[in-house]
Amino acid sequence: MLYNRRMLTSTANERVKLIRSLQSQRKTREKEGRFVVEGTRLVEEALLSGSPFDFVFYCNPDHRAQALLDKMEKQSIARIEVSPQVMQACADTEHPQPLLAVLPFPALTPNANSLLLICDRITDPGNLGTLLRTAAAARVDSAILAPGTVEPFNPKVVRSSMGAHFRIPIETLEWNEIRMRTQGLNVWLADTETQGAARYDEVNWTRPSAIIIGGEAEGPSDEGRALAEGAVFIPMPGGSESLNAAVAGSVILFEAVRQLLSQ
């Protein structure tokens, strides 16, 4: 089916049930190997990346959303018009957007191993999404999620990452796997303690490196501390005790970008 000419109005529909389960349950996402993206911007990112689509729901599309639907028609992507009530039932946001899509998990493979982001016990979905968005902007080779970190296909992570899932590999690994992935790299831990640590802008980020960003609630894990061969800190002359994990990660990653572009 390429185009459903009849508007879907029933919230008891099997596709609607699937979306609601994908939105609310990690176990469903993992079992199905699928997730949901909401909004014109994210659907556009998925389309530009060449990601396959299972199907798309649309409701009262504006000009931009309609342009995407026209492109999808040329690619034979299933598009189903739904009522506002159905879109509201499927959305994870208070105010649903015109487009919502179900897609398989992206299968991106790292093609280099020179700059890795390791997220260690990042439990806030917004923080993880922002870190992934920053990592994509910095073009890291891979974002690695250590144990204790929120799942990458959580709807809030997907929204706040703004399409990072389609631009960089995101790997969920155990610590023994992370140790193997970081062999040959300089592994640094972002820390609030300055004693014995290097300033983040005095590290040579042009060497193959990994940076561990710990969660705000509990900080980095013992495994993360053991893996790191050194710590870095961000000077805070204003006297703040710490920075938001996503902000700290962004500052360090873009220092790495600055150095790499200056080569």
Segments making up each domain of the chain, as ranges? 3-104, 115-261
DSSP β-bridge partners for residue 17? none
Element (H, E) at 17: helix 14-24
Share of the chain above pLDDT 90, in %: 87
* Residue whose entry in the numeric block shows the structure tokens 């561990």: 212
Closest to 47 measured CA to CA, from 60, 56, 58: 56
Q: Are 140 and 170 in contact (CB under 8 A)?
A: no
User: How far, in Å, CA of 76 to CA of 231, rounded?
Assistant: 51
Question: In terms of CATH architecture, what is 3-104?
Answer: 2-Layer Sandwich (3.30)
Torsional sign, CA 196, 198, 203, 209: positive
Q: Are 252 and 234 in contact (CB under 8 A)?
A: yes
* CA dist 260 → 53, 113, 129 (Å): 35, 14, 24
Ranges in the chain, pLDDT < 70 = 1-5, 239-242
* CA dist 40 → 64, 99, 184 (Å): 7, 6, 41
pTM over 0.75: yes
CATH number for 115-261: choose from 2.40.110.10, 3.60.150.10, 3.40.1280.10, 1.10.1740.10: 3.40.1280.10
- Residue 177's φ and ψ, nearest 5 degrees, are -70, -35
First to last CA, the chain: 52
Residues whose CB falls within 8 Å of the CB of residue 124, separated by 6 or more in sequence, listed in order: 150, 215, 216, 245
